[in-house]
A and B are shown apart, each in its own frame.
Chain A
C-alpha cells in the first residue's frame, strides 16, 4: 500500500506557497534537549522530491514521537505549519498539526529519492558542509548516523541524502569548526568546545515559560543536534500561543553584540537572554521602602513600565535605589538595558508578565525623548458582567462610568487605624453595575460629579455583597483617562447608558438578608410546600387584606423595655409580669393582629405583630387601645379602612406543631406600599419570559 507523497510540497512550504495538507515522509527525527520545558523534536521531512531537515514539531504534538506514532520513515499528512525565518534567511518549519498516515514499517523505507532542499533554490546538496562526518555522504553510504552536522541548516546542505539509519542519535559529532556563518550564536561556546553545553546566553531561545518568546529556530546554526542542552532551548511552540511571533525574530534579538539601538519588546524579556534593550514608559513608581529583618536591612523602590507589547515590574535595591530613584519619573520613557530577569513573585506583583526585573550595578537607564508610540498605560479591561466569572481575590482591570458615588466615610480598621473610604458605582457597556471602593487619599480626592469615566488597574475583586472591587495599594485609579476605551464609554453612556436601569453585581441593600427578594404568590405556599423544611422560608408577595380580626387584636403587655409578655390583671390595679417577675401599676397596649390576605391564587391567614399591624391599620397600639374603650364606632372604622388595601408583604412561613396539630404559620415581617411601576415592570418581564 503506497501512499503518495506530495511532490514539491517542501518547496512550497519553504517558499510560502499555498499547499494544503501535504503528505510527507519523516525521514529522521531527533530530540533536542531543552533545559527547561518540554523536549523538542526536530524532523527531516521529505516529499519524495526534496528533503528538508529544519522541521520542528510543536510541543503539543510531542506525544506522537513519544508514543512511537511518529517514527522514522512514517508517512504523515501535515495539516498546519508555520514558518520561522532566521536572521540569515534560513527557514524553519514548525509543524503544528499533523496526522500519521502510515507507520515507518508500513512505508517500508524511504520513498523516492529526495534531494536535500536548499533554501536558495538549489536542490543539489553541496556536500558535507563542514565536516565529513555529516551525513552528507553519497547515497551509497550505509546510513551514517544522523550526525549533527553543524552546518545543518546553513541554508544548504548537509542534508543527508544517504540512507537514514533509524538511529537518530545525534551524538556529539566532532563538528568542530561549525559553520557559524551568520548566526548570532557565534558566541564562544562553539569555538571553545564544540558540543558542549553551549551556554548560548545570547541566543534568543527563550525558555519555555516565556510564552511570548518569538520563535527562534536557529539552534541548527550553532550546533544543530546537540545533545547538549542548550541553555536556551530552541524551539518554542510559540507561534501557536503568542502574538509576538514575529516573522523575523532575529530582529528582536538585536543585541547579541550588545547593540543598544535595537529595542526588543517587553513581552519577549526572559532570564535566558541577557543582552537586550527595552524602551518603555514608567506607569507607576513606588516610594522608597526601608526594611530591616533578621538578615539585615536595606531599601528598595519599584516601578512598572509599559510598552506596546506589555508591561513588567522593576525593582531596585540599596545602591541602585540611590542611583535610579531620582532619575526614574512616572510618565516618562526610558531605554533600559542590562537588568536581571527572574520569575515574578505574584504576591507582590500583579502585572501581566511571568517575569520581573531587578536592577544591578551594570544596569543603565537612559531617558528617551521619543516616546510617542509607547502607550501610557497597558490595561486589559474586563467587562463588568464578566467579573462574576472571575475568582475572588483576582486582580483585574476595570473601566466604567461612575454612575454615582457615595460620600467619603471614615472607618476604623481592626488595627485601630482610621482610614477614609468611598464607594463608587461603575457601569459599563454590558449594562452591569459594580461597586468599587476607594481608600485613603484617593477616596478623599475623588470627585464623582459629572459622572466621570473611571479606570482602575489592578483592582482586587472581592465577594463582598456578591461581587465588588477594591482599589488596593498597588492599584492605579484613573479618572477620565486619555485612552480610547474611555472615549467609547463616554459616548455610550451619554447616549444610552444613563437611562439603563441596570443590574448591580453588588447588592448593597438586601431584603431579608439575602441578595434577592423571593417573590411568590399565595397559592405557591401550598404548591411549593413552603415552610415544610427544617428552616423557615422567607418570601415576599403582593396581596390584599380581605379580613382583619378586630376581636382580640390588642393585649396588655409588660411596660418594661424589651419585655412584651402579656401581663396578668391582678384586679387590684396592678399587673404582674411573669417574665420580669414584677408587678406594675400600668401596662402598654400591643397589637397582635390576625388577618386574612388574598391574591389571585389563594387566601392565607397571617399574623402581624405590633410594628406591621400598626402599618396596616394606620394607628398605634396605644391609640387603638384608647379608641376601643372610648369610641367603638371609630374603632371599627379603623378596621374597615384597612380592609381591601393591597401591600407588599414580606413573610416568614413555617410548619409548626401545636398540641399534636401541625399547621403552616405565616408571620408578616414587613409591610410596604406597592410600587406600581416596579411591580408592572416585574410583571411585564415575567410575561415576556413566560411567552418565551
Chain B
C-alpha cells in the first residue's frame, strides 16, 4: 500500500480544502491551539483562516510556530495528519506564511506551469 509519502501531495490552504476531500495534501500553517488531549489542534493559514487537524497518536512534544503536515482531508474538512514537521523559527530565516500563501495562489491559478501531479510518477 502506498504510504502518504510516496504519493504527490498538493500544497493547499484552508480555502482549498473542500476541493481535496479524501485526498492527501500538504498543509502549512501556524499553530493556534492544541487540544488538551494532544490528538487535535488548529492551524491558521496565510489568509488567516483556521483548519482543524487530528492525529492518530497524541502529540509527544510541544507544538508551536509554523508547521508543515501531510495528511488526508476528511469529509468534514478536517485534516487527518500522518506526519508533521516543525519549521523552527530559531533557525534560519523565519517562514513568511503570507508570502507562502501568495505562492500557493499562483500555483493553483496556473496549474499548467506547475504540473506537480506528474512529477511524482516514476
Q: Does B103 contact A (CB under 8 A)?
A: yes
Binding site for A on B (CB under 8 A): 93, 96, 99, 102-103, 106, 109-110
A680 cross-chain contacts in B, Cβ below 8 A: 96, 99, 102-103
Query: Given the complex of chains A and B, what is the CA–CA distance between A680 and B96 in angstroms?
Result: 10
Query: Given the complex of chains A and B, what is the CA–CA distance between A681 and B99 in angstroms?
Result: 7
Contact between A677 and B96 (Cβ–Cβ < 8 Å)?
A: yes
Whole-angstrom distance from the CB of B114 to the nearest CB of chain A? 11
Contact between A687 and B99 (Cβ–Cβ < 8 Å)?
A: no
Query: Given the complex of chains A and B, what is the CA–CA distance between A256 and B59 in angstroms?
Result: 91
A687 cross-chain contacts in B, Cβ below 8 A: 106, 110
Q: Does A495 contact B (CB under 8 A)?
A: no
Question: What 1/0 flags go to A676-690 for Cβ under 8 Å of B?
Answer: 110011001001000
Q: Please name the residue on chain B nearest to A688 by beta carbon.
A: B106
Whole-angstrom distance from the CB of A675 to the nearest CB of chain B? 9
Query: Given the complex of chains A and B, what is the CA–CA distance between A680 and B97 in angstroms?
Result: 12
Going nearest first, the 6 A-B pairs with the smallest beta carbon separation are: A684-B102, A680-B99, A677-B96, A687-B106, A677-B99, A684-B106
B102 cross-chain contacts in A, Cβ below 8 A: 680, 684
Contact between A677 and B103 (Cβ–Cβ < 8 Å)?
A: no
Q: Please name the residue on chain A nearest to B105 by beta carbon.
A: A684
Whole-angstrom distance from the CB of B107 to the nearest CB of chain A? 10
Query: Given the complex of chains A and B, what is the CA–CA distance between A509 and B99 in angstroms?
Result: 25
Contact between A684 and B103 (Cβ–Cβ < 8 Å)?
A: yes
Whole-angstrom distance from the CB of B29 to the nearest CB of chain A? 18
Give the residues from 644 to 685 in chain A that come closer than 8 angstroms, CB to CB, to chain B.
676-677, 680-681, 684
Whole-angstrom distance from the CB of B92 to the nearest CB of chain A? 10
B99 cross-chain contacts in A, Cβ below 8 A: 677, 680-681, 684
A684 cross-chain contacts in B, Cβ below 8 A: 99, 102-103, 106
Give 12 A-B contacts (CB < 8 Å), ordered by A residue.
A677-B93, A677-B96, A677-B99, A680-B99, A680-B102, A684-B99, A684-B102, A684-B103, A684-B106, A687-B106, A687-B110, A691-B109
B109 cross-chain contacts in A, Cβ below 8 A: 691
A677 cross-chain contacts in B, Cβ below 8 A: 93, 96, 99
Whole-angstrom distance from the CB of A194 to the nearest CB of chain B? 82
Whole-angstrom distance from the CB of A36 to the nearest CB of chain B? 62
Whole-angstrom distance from the CB of A662 to the nearest CB of chain B? 38
B106 cross-chain contacts in A, Cβ below 8 A: 684, 687
Q: Please name the residue on chain A nearest to B100 by beta carbon.
A: A680
Query: Given the complex of chains A and B, what is the CA–CA distance between A217 and B23 in angstroms?
Result: 82
Query: Given the complex of chains A and B, what is the CA–CA distance between A81 and B110 in angstroms?
Result: 58
Q: Please name the residue on chain A nearest to B96 by beta carbon.
A: A677
Whole-angstrom distance from the CB of A496 to the nearest CB of chain B? 15
Q: Please name the residue on chain A nearest to B95 by beta carbon.
A: A677
Query: Given the complex of chains A and B, what is the CA–CA distance between A680 and B99 in angstroms?
Result: 8
Query: Given the complex of chains A and B, what is the CA–CA distance between A681 and B109 in angstroms?
Result: 17
Query: Given the complex of chains A and B, what is the CA–CA distance between A684 and B107 in angstroms?
Result: 11
B96 cross-chain contacts in A, Cβ below 8 A: 677, 680
Query: Given the complex of chains A and B, what is the CA–CA distance between A676 and B103 in angstroms?
Result: 13
Whole-angstrom distance from the CB of B113 to the nearest CB of chain A? 9
Query: Given the complex of chains A and B, what is the CA–CA distance between A677 and B103 in angstroms?
Result: 11
A691 cross-chain contacts in B, Cβ below 8 A: 109-110
Q: Please name the residue on chain A nearest to B109 by beta carbon.
A: A691
Whole-angstrom distance from the CB of A686 to the nearest CB of chain B? 11
Q: Please name the residue on chain B nearest to A685 by beta carbon.
A: B102
Query: Given the complex of chains A and B, what is the CA–CA distance between A691 and B110 in angstroms?
Result: 10
Query: Given the complex of chains A and B, what is the CA–CA distance between A680 and B93 in angstroms?
Result: 14
Query: Given the complex of chains A and B, what is the CA–CA distance between A681 and B96 in angstroms?
Result: 11
Whole-angstrom distance from the CB of A646 to the nearest CB of chain B? 15
Whole-angstrom distance from the CB of A531 to the nearest CB of chain B? 31
Query: Given the complex of chains A and B, what is the CA–CA distance between A398 and B92 in angstroms?
Result: 41
Query: Given the complex of chains A and B, what is the CA–CA distance between A684 and B103 in angstroms?
Result: 7
B93 cross-chain contacts in A, Cβ below 8 A: 676-677
Whole-angstrom distance from the CB of A184 to the nearest CB of chain B? 68
B110 cross-chain contacts in A, Cβ below 8 A: 687, 691
Query: Given the complex of chains A and B, what is the CA–CA distance between A681 and B103 in angstroms?
Result: 9
B103 cross-chain contacts in A, Cβ below 8 A: 680, 684
Whole-angstrom distance from the CB of A106 to the nearest CB of chain B? 67
Q: Please name the residue on chain B nearest to A675 by beta carbon.
A: B93
Whole-angstrom distance from the CB of A127 to the nearest CB of chain B? 84
A676 cross-chain contacts in B, Cβ below 8 A: 93
Question: What 1/0 flags go to A369-399 for Cβ under 8 Å of B?
Answer: 0000000000000000000000000000000
Query: Given the complex of chains A and B, what is the CA–CA distance between A691 and B107 in angstroms?
Result: 13
Query: Given the complex of chains A and B, what is the CA–CA distance between A677 and B94 in angstroms?
Result: 10
Query: Given the complex of chains A and B, what is the CA–CA distance between A678 and B110 in angstroms?
Result: 22
Query: Given the complex of chains A and B, what is the CA–CA distance between A681 and B106 in angstroms?
Result: 12
Q: Which of B93, B102, B110 has the most CB of A within 10 A?
A: B102
Whole-angstrom distance from the CB of A113 to the nearest CB of chain B? 76
Whole-angstrom distance from the CB of A647 to the nearest CB of chain B? 16
Query: Given the complex of chains A and B, what is the CA–CA distance between A680 and B46 in angstroms?
Result: 15
Whole-angstrom distance from the CB of A267 to the nearest CB of chain B? 49
5 extra interchain contacts, Cβ-Cβ under 8 A, other than A680-B96, A680-B103, A687-B110? A677-B93, A680-B102, A681-B99, A684-B103, A684-B106
Query: Given the complex of chains A and B, what is the CA–CA distance between A687 and B110 in angstroms?
Result: 10
Whole-angstrom distance from the CB of B11 to the nearest CB of chain A? 15
Q: Please name the residue on chain A nearest to B113 by beta carbon.
A: A687
Q: Please name the residue on chain B nearest to A677 by beta carbon.
A: B96
Whole-angstrom distance from the CB of B97 to the nearest CB of chain A? 11
Whole-angstrom distance from the CB of B48 to the nearest CB of chain A? 13
Whole-angstrom distance from the CB of A682 to the nearest CB of chain B? 11
Query: Given the complex of chains A and B, what is the CA–CA distance between A363 and B110 in angstroms?
Result: 76
Query: Given the complex of chains A and B, what is the CA–CA distance between A684 and B105 in angstroms?
Result: 10
Query: Given the complex of chains A and B, what is the CA–CA distance between A680 and B106 in angstroms?
Result: 12
Give the residues from 208 to 252 in chain A that come closer than 8 angstroms, CB to CB, to chain B.
none
Q: Please name the residue on chain B nearest to A678 by beta carbon.
A: B99
A681 cross-chain contacts in B, Cβ below 8 A: 99
Query: Given the complex of chains A and B, what is the CA–CA distance between A677 and B100 in angstroms?
Result: 10
Whole-angstrom distance from the CB of A325 to the nearest CB of chain B? 59
Query: Given the complex of chains A and B, what is the CA–CA distance between A676 and B102 in angstroms?
Result: 14
Whole-angstrom distance from the CB of A677 to the nearest CB of chain B? 5
